[in-house]
Amino acid sequence: MGSAAPGTLLDMRILIVGGGVLGTMHAWHAVRRGHQVVQLERDAGPRAATVRNFGLVWVSGRAPGAETTVALRARELWEEIGKAARGLKFRAAGSLTIVNTDAEVAVLEQVMALPDAADRELKLLDAGEARALEPALGADLRAALWCGRDAIVTTTGAWRPPPGASGFRALSVPAGAYGRGCRHRDRS
Ligand SMILES: Cc1cc2nc3c(=O)[nH]c(=O)nc-3n(C[C@H](O)[C@H](O)[C@H](O)COP(=O)(O)OP(=O)(O)OC[C@H]3O[C@@H](n4cnc5c(N)ncnc54)[C@H](O)[C@@H]3O)c2cc1C
């Protein structure tokens, strides 16, 4: 098990229930820290929210402070995973939030005044600037908020071991307990 000394915090055996993105992200990080990880999933692969979502790595709408800090860190991790994982694509696409009324424009102006607007790469665009980016926008467009840190993650849908789980293999679990299990072990 890596170079961790037996009996230390670096030598933990960790059980994770659930093969969705949260379970897999925790398994990946635990493996990278040198722990032994057993991850259990009741289905043949993740079929719940993790494979049904829109794949938006959403930074633009987060509350200022801790929530935005976490969202920016998550974006870094998705970018890293996108380079390492087969079947997963990270697209630094950015996003446009479009508005049609003066009241909505006033809200975007408030967003632009937030202290972390630059960290999120926010920019208030007039209708012409927004249409230059997206010609399909409608005629009643008043303005748009560009966020350069929003991104998109797409996958092939195939269930694969998380990056770093080089010793990934199936684990038999007792009938009636959980349908399927996997043991992650970093042997790099
Ligand atoms: C329609 C939709 C769109 C979304 N769009 C976005 C988006 O654009 N961006 C974004 O960031 N988030 C989005 N989300 C939210 C995001 O998908 C979820 O927050 C995330 O997938 C939750 O991950 P999870 O691992 O906690 O849950 P899940 O993906 O639900 O995984 C939980 C897993 O645990 C397994 N499990 C449960 N109980 C047991 C048990 N007792 N034993 C063994 N296994 C068990 C389940 O089978 C499942 O595979 C969206 C969600 C939905 C539904």
Which tens digits make up the pLDDT trace of 75-114? 999 999 888 877 789 999 999 999 999 999 999 999 999 9
Question: What span, in angstroms and rounded, lies between the C-alpha atoms of 182 and 137?
Answer: 47
Centroid of ligand 1 to alpha carbon of 48 (angstroms): 5
Ligand 1 atom index nearest CA of 47: 49
pLDDT of residue 164: 52
pLDDT of residue 32: 84
Q: Does the pLDDT at position 180 exceed 90?
A: no
Ligand 1 atom index nearest CA of 40: 43
Higher per-residue pLDDT: 158 or 46: 46
Centroid of ligand 1 to alpha carbon of 172 (angstroms): 24
Q: Look up tokens 């937030």; give the residue.
A: 114
Which tens digits make up the pLDDT trace of 41-73? 887 767 789 888 899 999 999 999 999 999 999
pLDDT of residue 175: 36
Q: Does the pLDDT at position 3 exceed 80?
A: no
Which tens digits make up the pLDDT trace of 22-47? 988 888 888 888 888 888 888 776 77
51 by Cβ neighbours in 10 Å (0-12 / 13-18 / 19+) ranks as: middle
Centroid of ligand 1 to alpha carbon of 11 (angstroms): 28
Centroid of ligand 1 to alpha carbon of 21 (angstroms): 7
Ligand 1 mutation pick, 38, 42, 90, max ligand atoms within 8 A of CB: 42
Q: Nearest C-alpha to atom 34 of ligand 1 is from which residue?
A: 18
pLDDT of residue 28: 84
Centroid of ligand 1 to alpha carbon of 163 (angstroms): 19
Q: Nearest C-alpha to atom 37 of ligand 1 is from which residue?
A: 18
pLDDT of residue 137: 94
Domains of the chain, first to last? 1-46+159-188 (3.30.110), 55-156 (3.30.9.10)
- Cα angle 114, 56, 159; round to 5: 145
Mean pLDDT for 157-183 is: 46
pTM: predicted TM-score of the whole model, two decimal places? 0.79
Ligand 1 atom index nearest CA of 22: 25
Higher per-residue pLDDT: 66 or 17: 66
Centroid of ligand 1 to alpha carbon of 38 (angstroms): 19
Ligand 1 first shell, C-beta below 6 A:
17-23, 40-43, 46, 48-50, 52-56, 58, 178
Task: Quickly state the pLDDT bin for 178 (edges 50, 70, 90).
Answer: very low
